[in-house]
Amino acid sequence: MIAAALHRGYTLVELMVTLVIMGIAAALLVPALGDFGAIETQAAVRRLVSDITFAQSDAVARQGYRRVQFFDDGSGWCLVQVDDGAFFDAFNASTADFVADPASVNRGGGDFIVNFAQDDRFESVHIESVTTAEGGLGLTFDALGGTVSAPGTAAGAVTVVLAGDDSRWEVGVAPVTGRTSVQKLN
């Protein structure tokens, strides 16, 4: 006797339940995908906080000054090494002593440069403002990881506002300790 193979398909109820679940998932996912500008801005904020922390750690590890230098056009920042002799020199990209980027990913040959205009992950983000107690566009850490405005002189607070298409965030850096905080702005 040859046994006939049973071929069983899905029932109408099983198909309907599957379609309802997929519809609910799509209804939840589509609005989140439409809010991509906010995600870009949040990613840029996380990147800035990470880079500030890296600059502070690198200053301690290498026992030297590390500066997060913000670009005056609001397009990003870079990490540079400075010494006592060049501490007060104006930033010049062609002569700057850039910190090497340990990730070396798409940043001009390994220099630690974050430029929103050249990185499509952050194309809708810009730096709206940089506020320092000294009035400059740099945040400098010394060999002990503290913020300084001059060799041996503690710096005041630093505030950086990053803005995207639909959200604004403030990154604050506390004086002396360099502790960072993040706050969403209306």
- pLDDT, mean of residues 42-55: 94
User: Of the ranges 4-13, 89-98, 146-155, 161-170, which one carries the lowest mean pLDDT score?
Assistant: 4-13
Question: What's the pLDDT tens digit per position in 106-154?
Answer: 545 588 999 998 888 888 899 999 999 888 999 999 999 999 999 999 9
Question: What are the boundaries of each domain within the chain?
Answer: 35-185
**Whole-angstrom distance, CA of residue 160 vs CA of residue 70:** 9
What is residue 10's predicted lDDT score, i.e. its pLDDT? 79
> How many Cα atoms within 13 Å fall on the side-chain side of residue 131?
10
Output 159 or 25, whichever has higher pLDDT: 159
**Whole-angstrom distance, CA of residue 163 vs CA of residue 130:** 12
**Element at 183 (helix H, strand E):** strand 180-185
Strand order in the sheet with 126-132: 126-132, 158-163, 168-173, 180-185
**Residue 2 pLDDT exceeds 80:** no
Backbone angles phi, psi at 28, to 5 degrees: -80, -35
**How much of the chain is helix, strand and coil, in % rounded to 5?**
30, 30, 40
What is residue 11's predicted lDDT score, i.e. its pLDDT? 86
Q: Provide the residue type at 27 as one letter.
A: A
Average pLDDT in the chain: 87
Rg (CA), the chain: 24
What is residue 109's predicted lDDT score, i.e. its pLDDT? 59
**CATH top class, domain 35-185:** alpha beta
